[in-house]
Amino acid sequence: MSSREAEQQNGYGSHRDTEGNGESDHREESGGATKPARGRVATIIENFSFLWFTVSMNTGILSILMHQLPWQFRGLAILSTIMFVFNIVLFTTFFIVLLLRITFFPKAIVESMSSNPTELTMTGAVPIAWFTIVSQVGLTVSTAPWGGHAFFLVAVVFWWVGTAVMVSIAITVIVMLSKTTITSTKDMSPALVIPFVGTTTDALVGGLITSYSAHINAPVAVPVIIVGYLLTGIGFFVSLMVYAAYFVRLMNHGLPPPPQTPSLLLLVGPCGQTSAALQALGNAASMNFGKYNRGVFLTSSAASVLSTIGTFFGLLSTGMALLFAFFAIYTIVETCLKRQMKYSMFWWGTIFPMATVNTAFIMFANEMDSAAFRGLSAALLIVLLVDYFINWGFTLRDIFLGKLLNGSRSDKPANGRAKAQ
Give the model confidence (pLDDT) of 373-413 as tens digits: 999 999 999 999 999 999 999 999 988 888 777 644 434 44
Sign of CA dihedral 243, 245, 246, 252: positive
User: What percent of the chain is predicted at pLDDT more than 90?
Assistant: 67
Give the model confidence (pLDDT) of 29-55 as tens digits: 444 444 444 677 888 888 888 999 999
**According to the model, what pLDDT value does residue 187 have?**
79
Pairing of strands 408-409, 15-16: parallel
**Predicted confidence band of residue 241 (pLDDT cuts 50, 70, 90):** very high
Q: Are 228 and 310 in contact (CB under 8 A)?
A: no
**Mean per-residue pLDDT over the chain, rounded:** 86
Q: Are 365 and 283 in contact (CB under 8 A)?
A: no
With a CB cutoff of 8 Å and minimum separation 6, the contacts of 104 are: 42, 45, 46
HEC string of the chain equals: CCHHHHHHHHCCCCEECCCCCCCCCCCEEECCEEECCCCHHHHHHHHCCHHHHHHHHHHHHHHHHHHHCCCCCCCHHHHHHHHHHHHHHHHHHHHHHHHHHHHHCHHHHHHHHHHCHHHHHHHHHHHHHHHHHHHHHHHHHCCCCCCCHHHHHHHHHHHHHHHHHHHHHHHHHHHHHHHCCCCCCCCCCHHHHHHHHHHHHHHHHHHHHHHHCCCCCHHHHHHHHHHHHHHHHHHHHHHHHHHHHHHHHHHHHCCCCHHHHHHHHHHHHHHHHHHHHHHHHHHHHHHHHHHHCECCCECHHHHHHHHHHHHHHHHHHHHHHHHHHHHHHHHHHHHHHCCCCCCCHHHHHHCHHHHHHHHHHHHHHHHHCCHHHHHHHHHHHHHHHHHHHHHHHHHHHHHHCCCCCCCEECCCCCCCCCCCC
| CATH node for 35-409 | 1.50.10.150
Please give the single-letter amino acid code of residue 240.
Answer: L
**According to the model, what pLDDT value does residue 294 have?**
92
With a CB cutoff of 8 Å and minimum separation 6, the contacts of 184 are: none
Residue 117 clears pLDDT 90, i.e. is over it: no
Closest CA to 256 of 332, 195, 194: 332
**According to the model, what pLDDT value does residue 109 have?**
86
Give the model confidence (pLDDT) of 302-344 as tens digits: 999 999 999 999 999 999 999 999 999 999 999 999 888 888 8
Q: Are 368 and 10 in contact (CB under 8 A)?
A: no
**According to the model, what pLDDT value does residue 29 have?**
42
Give the model confidence (pLDDT) of 1-11 as tens digits: 443 444 444 44
Say what the pTM is.
0.87
Please give the single-letter amino acid code of residue 178.
Answer: S
Q: Are 356 and 276 in contact (CB under 8 A)?
A: yes
Residue 104 clears pLDDT 60, i.e. is over it: yes
CB neighbours of residue 420 within 10 Å: 5
Q: Are 165 and 127 in contact (CB under 8 A)?
A: yes
Give the model confidence (pLDDT) of 253-288 as tens digits: 888 888 889 999 999 999 999 999 999 999 999 999
Residue 158 clears pLDDT 50, i.e. is over it: yes
Over its C-alpha atoms, the chain yields an Rg (Å, rounded) of 22
Q: Are 188 and 267 in contact (CB under 8 A)?
A: no
- Residue 380 and residue 325: Cα distance in Å, rounded? 13
Residue 23 clears pLDDT 50, i.e. is over it: no
- Residue 99 and residue 219: Cα distance in Å, rounded? 35
Residue 20 clears pLDDT 50, i.e. is over it: no
With a CB cutoff of 8 Å and minimum separation 6, the contacts of 102 are: 109
What letters, b where the CB count within 10 A reaches 16 and e where it falls short, cover 208-230? Answer: bbbbbbbebebeebbebbebbbe
Residue 416 clears pLDDT 80, i.e. is over it: no
**According to the model, what pLDDT value does residue 406 have?**
61
Strand partners, 298: 294
Segment 51-69 shows an average pLDDT of: 95
Q: Are 49 and 345 in contact (CB under 8 A)?
A: yes
Residue 26 clears pLDDT 70, i.e. is over it: no
**Long-range contacts for 73-77 (Cβ within 8 Å, ≥24 apart)?**
none
**Predicted confidence band of residue 146 (pLDDT cuts 50, 70, 90):** confident
CB neighbours of residue 315 within 10 Å: 15
- Residue 232 and residue 274: Cα distance in Å, rounded? 6
**Predicted confidence band of residue 170 (pLDDT cuts 50, 70, 90):** very high
Q: Please, is 267 exposed, middle or buried when counting C-beta atoms within 10 Å of its C-beta (0-12, 13-18, 19+)? A: buried
